[in-house]
Structures are given as structure tokens and as C-alpha cells.
Structure 1
Amino acid sequence: MNLISLLWRNVLHRKTLSLLTVMSVAVTVALVVFLLLCSDGIEKGAEKGYGPFEVTIGAKGSATQLALNTYYHIGSPTGNVPFTLLDEVRKDAAVDKAFAMTTGDNYNGFPIVGMEVDYFLTRYGTDKHMAQGKLYEKLGDTIVGSHVASELGLHVGDKFQGAHGLVKGAVDDDEDHHEGEAGEADHHHQFTYNIVGILPPLLTSDDRAIFTTLDYAWAVHENQQSASKEITTILVKPKTLLGAQSIKTKYGQMNNVQAIYTSKAVADVVNVVDKGTQALSVVTVICIFLAAGSILLSLIAAVNERKKDVGLLRLIGKSKSYVWFSLIGEGVLLTFIGLIGGLVIGHAGGYLSREAVFEYSGLQIQSWHYMPGEGWLVLGTLLIGVVASIGPALQAYRVDPLQLFKS
């Protein structure tokens, strides 16, 4: 009998136990794959999350909060800085490019960001053309990220009104807001945005933001006086790394202003996330041991049945290698089926949850591509299957076939 056919018949002979074994392996592998996808998303997000802007200038407060709000559109800004500071930064000899950003409003929970148009050219280059329409030119014009357009079904030519705050209904749901805030909310509803373009997928958090002219915040909040104009953040591309240090030192010493190394702030966030991933890894290790135990129990349960099969194979003259592969192969086959199922489930789960994960955390999950850790996962899983199969196989092989049939 063909070895593969023999293994397959053995597996089907105990359908329930085989199915449970395959499921335990599949769930474990799927969990590991999902963790790998998240880890890959974190690394790529950290790498591409802030582009060439090595220094970020904003109001005093948490450096990580400033970085998250500016580049990942998560959380609230640390405050505002004077608009006049932008001209001072741009005149600095160490600065290559500097762009101001204003934020604080939303549309259906997606942040509305005031940003100078040249930001897109500096960060994404000339190879990223608009998916539809064009870049904004005047007050009220907006372009929307690909994720926003997909989620809300927006098209070029659509119009909408924003709301104050970075969370949907932030003002409307606050029963204790002051009359001035109520008036500001009314003014938000009177200001109409016109969508003139839709961005292509950029694979950054900009995919879930709405961009418009820098002066939208001053128009919406009725702040047209040049002396009192404020901006949320200044994104700085230094000419050199040494220049980045001088920029940080110079503007970090100003009152109510902080200048941060963007990479360090992002790295701090990644380190915190890594600690959470390590905690999940403990759960994963437990699942791995449970899967190995499931394989072991499945084969131990079949030992008595296999003893007669092994004895017969040895009596009819089958080679030792054939007999050994017939014993170990069953555990490896169950492991292999569970491995394939786990890889598919893990990538499918990442694909199906990518929109929810991205909207909640700004983390891009890219499924259906090979990750370096997957090679080790495949080898490790198959090795666990082999190791778990050796004990029961050895127990069955040691039986004297003649004594077995005499009994």
C-alpha cells in the first residue's frame, strides 16, 4: 500500500481526534501569523510613519502625544504655537523644509487636517499622483485619504460640514459645554467643505485623514487676526542630522514650545507596543505546548491500534524506514494540515480585520505576503510534530511482532 494512502486512512479512522489535533495546530499557527502581521505593520508604520521630518515642533507636553497626533492622527494635540514661529523656523539655516499643520476638527470621526500642499510632494514624492481629482487650492477645498473615501463612500464633488473635536460627536455629546462652544459648533455646521480630490493608498495614517488648506482652522474658528493666528505643529525636514540637533536645541528652549526628535518619540511608542506583543507571546507559547500535547495524545491513543499494523508491516518485510515513516508520518501529516490551515486562517483574519485595526490604531496590516518569521514558523511547527510523534512511534516499534500475534 502507498505510504501516503496508509497515513491518510489512519487519520480518517479517528476523525474526531484528528480534527481536534488539526484545529489546535491551526489556531496556534493562526495566532502566531496574526502577531507577525501586527509586528510587521508596526515596523513598517514606524519606518514610514513620519517620512523625512526628523524634528517636530509643537506646544509643551508629551513628546509621544505630539508625534502620535501629528503623524498618526491619534489622540489630541498638545496645544498650539504661534503662526509667526513658522517663518522663524523656515529662516533657520539648518532647515531644509518646514510645514505647518492645524487640526482639531473631524468629519464622522476622521480628523480634518490643515496642511500646506507641498507637504505631499516632500513626503511622498512625484510618483504619488491623485487617485481622483486634484490637490486643494482655496479655502474649503479638501482631499480625502483612500481609507476615508472607502469607508464613507465619498467622491469628488461631494460636500460636507465638519464638527469640532477629534472624535465624532465630541461637542454634540457634551451636555455641559458652554454657550460659546455651542456657537462655535453652529459655525462648524455653517462652514462647507468641497472634496476636490481623493488620495491614492499611501500605506500610512494619512489614508485615514481629510486634508484641507492651513487657514481652515482660522476661518472656522473666526480667528483672522495675524497676530493671534495659531498652528498645531511644525513638521521640520533638516538639511543634516547635525542640523536636526541644533534645531531641537534652539526651539526646545523657547517658552511653551517643545522640539522633539520624531524618530525617538516613535521608537518609544513602538517599545511600549512591543511589551504588549511580548505578553501575547506568552499566550502563544502556551498554545504551542497545548498543540504539541494534542498531537502527542492523538498518537498515544492510536498506539494500541498501530501495534498490530506495525507487526504486520514488519512480518511482510517492509523496510524499517517505511515502518518508521508510517508511525511518525501520521503526526507530521496532522501537523502539516493544521499548519496550512493556520497560515490561511491567520492571513485571512488579518485581511478581514485590516480596516477595523487601521481605523482604531492606524496600524497597516498587509496580508497575503511572505514574512521572514513565517519560514521559522513552518520549520518549528513541523519539528514539533516530529518530536511529538517520536515517543508513541518508538513505543509501537519496540513490540515484538511474533509475540504480538501469538497473544
Structure 2
Amino acid sequence: MNIVKISSRNLFRNQLTAILNIVLVAFGIAILAVLFLAGSQISHKLENNAKDIDVVVGAKGSPLQLVLSSIYHIDYPTGNIAAQDAYKLMHHPMIKKAVPLALGDNYNGFRIVGTDSTFTQLYGLSVHKGAFWHRDLEVTIGSTVALAAKLKIGDSFFGAHGLTGNGDIHKQHAYIVKGILKPQGNITDNLILTNIGSVYKMHEEKAENTAHAHHGDDAKEINDKQITALLIQYKSPMSVIAFPRMVNQQTNMQAASPAMESARLFSLIGVGIDTLQWFAVFIMAVAGLSIFIGLYNAMKERKYDLAIMRCLGASKSKLFFLVMLEGMLVTLIGACIGILIGHIALEVVGSYQESSQARLTGLAVVPQEMYLICTGLFIGALASLIPAMQIYKVDIAETLTKDR
């Protein structure tokens, strides 16, 4: 006696009820799958992009905005800071490494970042083709930029003012692609890197200024100018408390901790995530109740069939597992469909996201999905337990002698 085959046939004796139960389970699992996938990807992106960055220094304003714009490049900067003041801060005794950033332009939505060689050291960058920039108007582009913008070594392009769109194009100077980075799996894949002098040149009103070699003195390059922010590593853990306080109280700049602001960001969206999680749990509980009611009522109608099966040699334990399997099949099918729907939904949502840096994908797989399948099986087993126990109450002689 093949109990799997019998269970699958019994499952669809009442097709509408079975389909309804599968849809309920699938809907609840799909919500949880989307939350797990999105949460895992967001957490990975935040951790991977902010790796080894202890604090960000920039213009006063929202610290969260400063972190988002300087590390994740998904917001507008809080403003600019005097490059001379920033340069002095870069040589503070508490600082191990400081990376200057000059933002303000983009190409087809990809941000052009003025910086120096410390940026490549911070992220451990290496080139796939060509070389790193050396002079003004030379750029090294991320792998995603090269693919999406169809740029190759030696190509030239014009940057546009602002961090999005191509409204105000700087046609007086063209950037030249000198190198393409190896894929890093972080924000640098979506950036166009150049020296700070290139950013200054794009915004100069007079064209007679001469180019600066990148390998020259950084102090000369940023003197009497402005930059957007500094990415800083501490020399010792003791600086975590003292350095931000010093910057915030004694300068016209602010220091923002990526770890603190990321935690704050999650706390802001945490209420909505918790609400969706409880909603999904409620839907799955309703599905479990529906399965229980359906199987319980079915047992009353199938007592004669079960008695016949007992006469044919089926044991009580085998019939018990037969009923249990029916409920578990419903939730297993629903869980698999729900996970598939979750992946498709997240991929569709990700395709409509404007920011390529923060784009989510449904092509990823997370370990929590196995827990969702196990949870579905548990709900099916729990909902089927009481109906399955009715097997032990079936009196074969009494059931078979009754008129059907």
C-alpha cells in the first residue's frame, strides 16, 4: 500500500479546500521569504560597504544622511567642508587612515568620486584591465559601470552636475577611462573613481588652470578648496569616544558612526518589518486551522473507507501516518510555492529600484529558507495530529454494519 500515492489522491478529493489551504500557506511563506531575503541582502550590503570604516566626518546635518551619502552613495551629502580643515584633521594622532571624498557629479546615474590612493587601499581594490588614474580627468571605473555604461579602456565621456540625471553636462572637459576594477561585490562596483583635482576642474569657471598629477602633494591639491567627507579608521579603540566628541564640539564639522547609524536605520524600519512578520504568522495560523477543520470533517466522511482499508490489512499506525501526510503535503507544496513567489516578487521589486547601489535581487538564496520549509511541515503535522488520532477510535465492525 503506497500511502504517499493515497495521500496525494485524498488531498485533492476536495480541490477547492486544498487549493485554498495551499494559497494561504504560500502567501504567509512568501512574505517571510521576502523579509528574510531582503534583510539578509541589506545587512550584507551595509556590512560589506562599511567594512573597516570607523567614522565619517562631513558637514553638519543629519548623521544618517552623511553615512548614507559617503559610504553607501544612496543619498545626497549634507554639504561640503573646508579642505584645509579636513587635511589638518587627517593628521590627527587618533587617526590611522583618512580617505578624502569629493562628490557632486555623475555619469548615467553612477557617481563620480574624487579621492586618492588611500581609497583603493581601504577597499582593497585592484584593476581588471588598464590601471588606476594618475592625472586629472583620468578615471578608473567599477565593473558594473563598465558593463552598464558600455565603457572600455580609452573611452571618454562627459560628467553631469548632481548625483542623479544628466541635466547639466560638463562639456568643457571629458573624462578618459584608464582602468576597470575587478568585481568587488560592494559599492565600488558602481563608482567612477578619479582624483580630487578632476572634481575641482569640472567646477572651475576659468579654464586656464593647469592639471595636477595625482601622485603630487595632496596638501597642495586640496588647499583652499572644499571636499565632501572623510572616511576614517582609528588607531585604537579608545578613539571611539574621544574623537567624535572632539570633532562635534570643537570644529564646524560632524562625526557620524556607520555602525550606530546603520543600527538606527534598522530601528526605524523595524516596526514595519515586525508588523509584516506577525501578519505572515497570522496567515499561516489561519492556514493551519483550515487544514485542521478540513481533515477533521473529512475523517467523518471517510470512516467507511478507513474501515475497509483496515480489513485489507492496513494497520492503525499506517492510517495515522496517511492522514498526517495529507496535511504535511499541503503545507510542503504551499511552502515551496511561497518561497518561489517570494524570490520572484523581490526580483520584480529590485528591477524597479532606481538606485543600482541598493538594488535587491531574488536570485539569492539564504539558509533561513530551509527553516520556512520546516515550519510549513510542522504546521501541517500539528494541524493533522488530532484528525489523525481519530483513526484509533474507528470501530471496524460498527462502521461496516452501518448503512452508508
TM-score bracket for this pair, using the shorter chain length:
0.7 to 0.9
How far apart are 1:45 and its partner, in Å? 2.5
- Distance in 2 separating the partners of 1:363 and 1:270: 17
1:261/1:402 CA distance change after superposition, 3 Å: same
Deviates more, 1:31-40 or 1:7-16: 7-16
How do 1:153-302 and structure 2 match up within 5 A? Answer: 153-169=150-166, 172=167, 185=168, 188-222=170-204, 228-300=224-296, 302=298
Structure 2 Cα separation of the partners of residues 276 and 195 of structure 1: 43
Q: Secondary structure at the match of 2:231?
A: strand
CA contact (8 A) 2:73 2:357 kept: no
Aligned counterpart, 2:378? 383
Distance 2:95 2:37 in 1: 36
Query: Are the counterparts in 1 of residues 146 and 152 from structure 2 also a CA contact under 8 Å?
Result: yes
User: Which residue does the alignment assign to 1:182?
Assistant: none
How far is 1:280 from its partner? 1.9
Tell me how far apart the structure 2 counterparts of residues 211 and 297 of structure 1 sit (CA, whole Å). Answer: 63
1:191 aligned counterpart, secondary structure:
coil
Q: Secondary structure at the match of 2:127?
A: coil
Percent identical residues: 30
**Alignment correspondent of 1:68:** 68
CA deviations 1:304-343 (Å, max 9, x no partner) are 5432221212233321110101111111112122223333
- Once the two structures are superposed, residues 105-134 of structure 1 have per-residue CA deviations (whole angstroms, 9 ceiling, x without a partner) of 12222222112133122223xxx5323332
Deviations 1:356-379, CA, capped at 9 Å, x for gaps: 5583671555844442x3343233
Shift of 1:256: 2.5
User: Residue 321 in 1 paired to residue 314 in 2?
Assistant: no
Matches within 5 A, 1:331-346: 331-346=327-342
SS in structure 1 opposite 2:355?
helix
1:340-355 paired onto structure 2 within 5 Å: 340-350=336-346, 354=350
Residue 401 of structure 1: aligned partner: 396
Deviation at 1:231, TM superposition (A): 0.1
Q: CA deviation at 1:385?
A: 0.6
Q: Tell me which of 130, 134, 137 is aligned to 2:131.
A: 134
SS of the counterpart of 2:164? coil
Structure-2 change in CA distance of 1:80 and 1:317 (3 Å): same
Amino acid paired to 2:65: Q
- Do the aligned partners of 2:320 and 2:391 also contact (CA within 8 Å) in 1? no
Q: Deviations over 1:72-94 (max 9, x none)?
A: 10111111111112331232222
Contact preservation (8 Å) 1:37, 1:367: no
Asked if residue 362 in structure 1 is aligned to residue 364 in structure 2, the reply is no
Please state how far the C-alpha of 1:285 moved relative to its aligned partner: 2.0
- Pairwise CA distance, 1:220: 0.9
Distance 2:135 2:102 in 1: 16
Residue 100 of structure 1: how far off its partner (Å): 0.6
8 Å CA contact 1:142, 1:211 repeated in 2 = yes
Counterpart of 1:150 in structure 2: which amino acid?
Answer: L
- Distance in 1 (alpha carbons) for counterparts of 2:357 and 2:282: 27
Aligned partner of 1:165: which letter? G
The SS at the match of 2:157 is: strand
CA distance in 1, matches of 2:22, 2:150: 41
Shift of 1:98: 0.7
Q: Which runs of 5+ in 1 are unaligned?
A: 173-184
Separation in structure 2 between the aligned mates of residue 148 and residue 330 of structure 1, nearest angstrom: 52
Measured at CA, do residues 33 and 132 of structure 1 come closer, stay the same or move farther in structure 2, by a change above 3 Å?
A: farther
Letter in 1 for 2:142: G
CA contact (8 A) 2:98 2:118 kept: no
2:216 corresponds in structure 1 to none
Partners of 1:216 and 1:297 in 2: how far apart?
71
AA aligned opposite 2:151: L
Q: Name the CA distance, whole Å, in 2 between partners of 1:368 and 1:218.
A: 40
Corresponding residue for 1:108? 108
The Cα of 1:270 is off from its aligned counterpart by 2.3
Taking the aligned partners of 2:283 and 2:353, their CA distance within structure 1 comes to 23
Aligned to 1:181: none
> In the alignment, residue 158 of structure 2 is paired with which amino acid?
Q
Residue 212 of structure 2 is matched in structure 1 by none
Find the counterpart in structure 2 of residue 52 from structure 1: 52
SS at match of 2:261: helix
- SS of the aligned residue for 2:11 comes to helix
- Compared CA separation, residues 156 and 299, structure 1 to 2 (3 A): farther
Q: Which amino acid aligns with 2:188?
A: D
TM-score using structure 1 length: 0.85
Tell whether 2:49 aligns with 1:37.
no
- Any conservation in 2 of the 1:331–1:388 contact (CA below 8 Å)? yes
Moved more, 92-101 or 42-51: 42-51
User: What is the match of residue 303 of structure 1?
Assistant: 299
Once the two structures are superposed, residues 125-179 of structure 1 have per-residue CA deviations (whole angstroms, 9 ceiling, x without a partner) of xxx532333222221222333333333333333322121112215xx4xxxxxxx
Label 1:256 to 1:142 Cα distance change in 2 as closer, same or farther (>3 A). same
Aligned to 1:80: 80
Q: Could you state the TM-score of these two structures normalised by the residue count of structure 2?
A: 0.86
